[in-house]
């Protein structure tokens, strides 16, 4: 799968994950909710779409997005061979619901797929990705909305400890996102390789 680098992820040590795709959005503002950007009716809760995620996701006619990061507590968990893991010690978890034909969002980071699972309440499989950058434990889950498969639910978990590989490019391209024109679009590949 190609890894087109073209996005406008803000540079500095991402202290907030939503590396969105992006063409082009980045919800930053110190994690401030987008309530001032969207109509209340544009929100919905992913309370059941992705387990404990309760991040409000803004969905506006077509391809807009938004989200509110959630702090999560840590839960120790021990896996096979006694390897200790943390259930949610990655920091933040943010869910985005995006209207797109494509499931793979080009968010400027390089992801490695490590799992795929069909979920009980959804006819669509859920894909699991890890940030391919060494030492970075950010994960993301991608699945189609079970009620409207034209929407893709992307859940980021954790905080990148490195900059987006597209920062350089970012510096060369004028930001085309106005305060009220957030648009998210999938990478322009029409079909997977």
Partner DNA sequence: CGAATTTGACCCGCGC
Partner DNA sequence: GCGCGGGTCAAATTCG
Binding interface with DNA (CB under 7 A): 1, 50-51, 75, 77-82, 85, 87, 110-117, 119-121, 126, 128, 130, 132, 139, 141, 192-193
Residue 171 φ then ψ, to 5°: -70, -15
CB contact at 8 A, 17 and 182: no
CB 25, min distance to DNA, A: 23
Helix (H, G, I), strand (E, B) or coil at 81: helix
Taking the least distance from each CB to DNA, the nearer of 10 and 110 is: 110
CB 180, min distance to DNA, A: 33
Taking the least distance from each CB to DNA, the nearer of 8 and 88 is: 88
CB 114, min distance to DNA, A: 5
CB contact at 8 A, 49 and 64: no
CB 53, min distance to DNA, A: 9
For the chain, first and last CA: distance in Å? 6
Say how far apart CA 158 and CA 75 lie, in whole Å.
Answer: 14
Taking the least distance from each CB to DNA, the nearer of 34 and 143 is: 143
Taking the least distance from each CB to DNA, the nearer of 52 and 148 is: 52
Say how far apart CA 143 and CA 8 lie, in whole Å.
Answer: 23
Q: By C-alpha distance, which of 132, 130, 126 is closest to 153? A: 126
């Amino acid at each position: 799968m190609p890894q087109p680098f073209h996005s406008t992820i803000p540079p500095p040590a991402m202290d907030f994950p939503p590396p969105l795709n992006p063409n082009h959005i980045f919800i930053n503002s110190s994690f401030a909710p987008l309530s001032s950007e969207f109509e209340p009716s544009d929100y919905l809760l992913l309370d059941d779409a992705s387990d404990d995620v309760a991040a409000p996701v803004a969905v506006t006619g077509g391809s807009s997005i938004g989200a509110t990061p959630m702090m999560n507590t840590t839960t120790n968990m021990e896996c096979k061979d006694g390897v200790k893991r943390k259930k949610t010690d990655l920091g933040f978890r943010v869910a985005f619901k995006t209207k797109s034909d494509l499931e793979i969002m080009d968010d400027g980071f390089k992801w490695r797929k490590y799992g795929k699972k069909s979920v009980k309440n959804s006819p669509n499989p859920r894909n699991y990705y890890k940030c391919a950058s060494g030492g970075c434990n950010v994960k993301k889950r991608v699945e189609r909305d079970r009620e409207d498969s034209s929407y893709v639910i992307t859940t980021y978990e954790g905080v990148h400890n490195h900059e987006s590989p597209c920062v350089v490019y970012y510096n060369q391209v004028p930001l085309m996102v106005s305060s009220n024109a957030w648009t998210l679009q999938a990478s322009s590949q029409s079909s997977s390789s």
